Amino acid sequence: MASRQSSKVPGAAEFVPPTRSLAVLAEAVQGCRGCDLYRNATQAVFGQTGSSAKKPRLMMVGEQPGDREDREGVPFVGPAGRLLDQCLEEAGIDRREVYVTNTVKHFKWEPRGKVRLHKKPSAGEIFACRPWLQAEIEMIEPELLVALGATAAQAILGAQFRVTQSHGEVMRAEGWPPVLATAHPASILRAPRDEDRHRQAAELVQDLRNAKKFLRK
Ligand code: SF4
């Protein structure tokens, strides 16, 4: 189970409205000052349900918005999102029936020339942002969470959890829906060699097939 690590930042709890609807939450998150990440981001990027009218059974949780997501205000629209779409299609999962979100709602970055380079959120920032993820889970009531990458997996399953060792397995953590961890598509795209990218993408597809199998039960 994820540790209840104390945080030096105030945290998002006081900004999460008691009236719960995804639209109300998505609006309220723009006013969140639960940690300092809002200062350098264009906007908060909240989760989104696919276009299907069906209630999502699967919630995918990434790390944080990327450069393009930060500008557009939509999760998983950049290159990593395209790879995720391809892998979902190959696994036979309809993206329109999936709710996608991130562990942390504001883009953390550092300048590298003209580029805004992704910077990993700290444990304190992850902890501060957790009330938004919990509010989304309360609204969606997913049957399965898919944690994409170490940040999401460790936020839910604890700092000791290793995606490389336990990806594709359905895990249980107190206070959370069942969760299956797998690689983040952005980390696959960062692999230097083609053969590594292909192998890791194939593993991601296999993990997503496991997720689909779990939902059939
Ligand atoms: S990252 Fe999360 S906790 Fe921090 S300001 Fe943004 S929404 Fe609030």
Question: How high is the pLDDT of residue 5?
Answer: 45
What's residue 167's pLDDT?
Answer: 97
Q: Quick one: 13-216 is in which CATH superfamily?
A: Uracil-DNA glycosylase-like domain (3.40.470.10)
Question: Which parts of the chain have pLDDT scores under 50?
Answer: 1-7
Q: Among 106, 130, 133, 134, say which to mutate for ligand 1: greatest number of ligand atoms within 8 Å of CB.
A: 106
- Centre of ligand 1 to C-alpha 38, Å, is 6
Q: How high is the pLDDT of residue 215?
A: 94
Q: Please report, for the chain, the start and end positions of each structural domain, with discontinuous segments joined by +.
A: 13-216
Q: Which atom of ligand 1 is nearest to the CA of 35?
A: 4
E strands along the chain, which residues? 48-49, 58-62, 98-102, 109-112, 115-118, 144-148, 170-171, 179-182
Q: Which helix (H) or strand (E) holds 206?
A: helix 194-216
Q: At how many degrees (to 10) do helices 194-216 and 79-91 cross?
A: 50
Asked if 15 and 129 touch (Cβ cutoff 8 Å), the reply is no
- The most distant pair of C-alpha atoms in the chain lies apart, rounded to whole Å, by 50
Q: For residue range 79-89, what is the model confidence (pLDDT) as tens digits?
A: 999 999 999 99
- Whether 117 and 109 have beta carbons less than 8 Å apart is answered as yes
Tell how far the Cα of 132 is from the centroid of ligand 1, in angstroms. 8
